[in-house]
Amino acid sequence: GNSVTQMEGPVTLSEEAFLTINCTYTATGYPSLFWYVQYPGEGLQLLLKATKADDKGSNKGFEATYRKETTSFHLEKGSVQVSDSAVYFCALSDRSGGYQKVTFGTGTKLQVIP
Amino acid sequence: GAGVSQTPSNKVTEKGKYVELRCDPISGHTALYWYRQSLGQGPEFLIYFQGTGAADDSGLPNDRFFAVRPEGSVSTLKIQRTERGDSAVYLCASSKNREAGASYNEQFFGPGTRLTVL
């Protein structure tokens, strides 16, 4: 079956530091890949996505590239802010059955300190 | 706003009781999903509705769990004879029908219902 493995947290960084959160996946076929973010007290939000190999998803200064050869989708940001403190989930979905069944990783908590 | 709403936001119940959790999807979204998020884990798929029918209920953990969507809009997740292990945040998401040629339809998540079984 499908699975997603992401680095364990918490990750604590100083403001303006570089962020990488590693994510690898196992899937049959050609899944779409996502990063979701959950800010304190809020619901899950889609941060970025990539639907095919070599696609780069980007949003709010975050980027991730769909690497089929390494089955990875690492999240990066060049300069984090305190407001980026949240839990980040890597996820994939396949389209078997004609709908999106999303498989999530366990989440990585990011804390950015001033 | 017109996002996905879930009620109640918190539910505390005793072991063995019956609970219902409600989800109001975004208007016009035909697809509806339920997920369960245990502490320190990512959401896990429970069930998917397309319209009124449950197209995939393979994620429901056992027959104590049941969900309905009688009019193709609001959905209710029902848990009978609750157990302490059912304690989690239950998330609902909705999306549009996948457009022809589209590779993905974004799922919009509600804020969740935190269920605590004592």
How confident is the model over B69-116, as pLDDT tens digits?
999 999 999 999 999 999 999 999 998 876 555 556 788 999 999 999
Of A66, A70, A69, A71, whose CA–CA distance to A55 is shortest? A66
Query: How far is C-alpha A46 from the geometric centre of its chain's CA atoms?
Result: 9
CA angle B89, B91, B95 (to 5 degrees): 170
CB contact under 8 A, A32 and B103: yes
More confident residue, A42 or A74: A74
Predicted pLDDT of residue A80: 97
CA distance A114 to B23: 38
A33-59 per-position pLDDT tens digit: 999 999 988 889 999 999 889 999 999
Predicted pLDDT of residue A28: 82
Provide the pairing of β-strand B44-50 with B108-109.
Answer: unpaired
A105 and chain B: CB distance < 8 Å anywhere? yes
For chain A, percent of residues with pLDDT exceeding 70: 96
A68 and chain B: CB distance < 8 Å anywhere? no
How many Cβ atoms sit within 10 Å of the Cβ of residue A95?
17
At residue A7, the 3 state secondary structure works out as coil
HSE (CB half, 13 Å, CA atoms) of A41? Answer: 0
Q: Are A19 and B67 in contact (CB under 8 A)?
A: no
Predicted pLDDT of residue A100: 72
Question: In which band, very low, low, confident or very high, does the pLDDT at A6 lie, cut at 50, 70 and 90?
Answer: very high
CB contact under 8 A, B105 and A100: yes
User: Cα-Cα-Cα-Cα dihedral of B104, B67, A27, A1, to 10°?
Assistant: -170
Query: How far is C-alpha B102 from the geometric centre of its chain's CA atoms?
Result: 24
Predicted pLDDT of residue A43: 84
